[in-house]
Amino acid sequence: MSKTKIKVGFAGTPKIAFDIFNEILLSDEISTEFVLTQPDKLSGRGLTASKSLFETQQNYQCSSPMI
């Protein structure tokens, strides 16, 4: 009997969410279909956009809500 993977979407931005996400990726029973993060935030004196850890550490296709 073949086992069907559970399809999930993951929503999170902080470091703790990234650590949990990496554990989910190691599972043979779960398939991550999409990643939802907070929008890029403007930071610093030049107000440059800072990306979430998901976009900077790995090559995931991330979506974020429109503000």
Mean pLDDT of the chain: 82
* Model confidence pLDDT, tens digit, residues 23-40: 988 999 998 888 888 887
Residue 38 lies in a domain: yes
DSSP 8-state class, residue 54: H
Strand 48-50 relative to strand 41-43: parallel, antiparallel, unpaired?
Answer: antiparallel
Range of the domain at 27: 6-63
- Number of independent structural domains in the chain: 1
Amino acid 62: pLDDT: 77
Phi, psi of 49 (to 5 degrees): -75, 130
Residue 1 lies in a domain: no
pLDDT over 90, % of the chain:
10
Element (H, E) at 43: strand 41-43
DSSP 8-state class, residue 50: E
Count of beta carbons in the 10 Å neighbourhood of residue 40 = 14
Amino acid 7: pLDDT: 93
DSSP 8-state class, residue 42: E
Q: Reply yes or no on whether the pLDDT at 4 is more than 80.
A: yes
